[in-house]
Structure 1
């Protein structure tokens, strides 16, 4: 057993609330058709992302060894990710309750579903699948500052479980960064949020000017309501990932 693998096992063993939701990914059970669906999903997104995704996402995609032609083996992904930032892509049985989700983030374990959408649902699934979770989220976890931000976010939210109003406001911060975040790089708007990375329709709409893009402001974001079932009318662009890490540190006192 290597040092990285041993560390992953120790981290998983420290979970209490989330432990019942942990599963093993049966990578060998994926069918040729499922690998073909993954390949088609990736091939649809990469031309746009190579031009419009942030540098950190594209670097992370290569660093964690994602393949365009087959579904990811989460153990292999974590083995490459953990030495870089301490994060791992941890298979779970499905949607997690908030306390389990935040506990995993605080432990640098990203809850990752192992099922893949069918060909009938290529454009959209109401629940996250492995394409959204891994393709959309995990490459960003190879970036140290983003990884620190996400862990700190989990720690804060884990301590707010008795305060639903504060949790709701923190949820807006997650939505407008991790899920639908934009960043300015090289004089252009680039995408990094998983909801944009994994959705061709929504990303195309945003890049074409179909929503208002505002400068990121913590207080504005914490007050900005959103509808998970609708296209976003307004999104926020940061100048750097240090900005959202520092904003998250300040958010703990702002939401209480």
Structure 2
């Protein structure tokens, strides 16, 4: 595959523009930094053993800290030279067209609010812990970065609801709940597993079926966002999901 990270001109955001905000890092409270530190402290011991090496490398490369919330501008400063991606603050949940536009522009839409201590286990809407801790380290990996940008560019052009639904399944079973075989073991890389200690523990303990990644099976696999996943699909490499995404594009419409 040919890397796309050398693109120079930033793409103008039109649909997503109304949702862009500025993160006010200085306004985070000591309690919020403490919640972040507790969340990271709960997850990292498990991830050091069971996250894929690309995630762990990315965590270090983008300068995430375990004791305080991330400054998105500083994260982007370290991330952009590696893959062209930025962690871009947004006001909240985005409509699909704005979300895909941002991915196509290598701008990951990142919420700036943090769950409360009362919602440590689960929050129905993504927060900065899910978005940054769960997603952004993988954006430092060139192949995964290219996959995500091309995924956004393809979906931004789609108008058929059935095509969008099938591509949504590809996203779910890779970006959100992806697992990969490394050194003979199942390792996690999907943000839904990375940022959820409970769900990650369940998968690693054999609490769901892990099948070999096969594109047609993934595109046909329904899922419920509010339930634990009964089946996941393990890839052998990140080149495999990039090629799967290109193959899926050829089957649309």
TM range (shorter): over 0.9
Of the three residues 156, 160, 165, the one matched with 1:163 is 160
Give 1:61's aligned residue: 59
The alpha carbon displacement at 1:11 in A equals 3.2
CA distance in 1, matches of 2:28, 2:230: 37
The alpha carbon displacement at 1:255 in A equals 2.9
Output the TM-score relative to the length of structure 2.
0.96
Give 1:173's aligned residue: 170
SS in 2 for 1:237: strand
Unaligned 5+ runs, structure 2: 1-6
Q: Does 1:182 align with 2:179?
A: yes
Give 1:11's aligned residue: 10
SS in 1 for 2:21: coil
RMSD over aligned CA atoms reads 1.2
Deviations 1:79-119 (A, max 9, x none): 00000000000000000000000000000000000000000
Structure with the bigger percentage of helix: 1
SS in 2 for 1:25: coil
Give 2:72's aligned residue: 74
Q: Does 1:201 align with 2:198?
A: yes
Of the three residues 135, 141, 150, the one matched with 1:152 is 150
Off by >4 Å, runs of 4+ in structure 1 = none
Does the aligned pair in 2 maintain the 1:137–1:194 contact within 8 Å? yes
Of the three residues 89, 92, 109, the one matched with 1:91 is 89
Deviations 1:11-36 (A, max 9, x none): 37x10000000000000000000000
Does the aligned pair in 2 maintain the 1:89–1:112 contact within 8 Å? yes
Deviations 1:116-151 (A, max 9, x none): 000000000000000000000000000000000000
Does the aligned pair in 2 maintain the 1:170–1:255 contact within 8 Å? no
SS in 1 for 2:175: helix
The alpha carbon displacement at 1:253 in A equals 1.9
Unaligned 5+ runs, structure 1: 1-6
Q: Which moved more, 1:126-135 or 1:246-255?
A: 246-255
Give 2:45's aligned residue: 47
Q: Does 1:212 align with 2:212?
A: no
SS in 1 for 2:217: helix
CA distance in 1, matches of 2:25, 2:248: 39
CA distance in 2, matches of 1:153, 1:203: 25
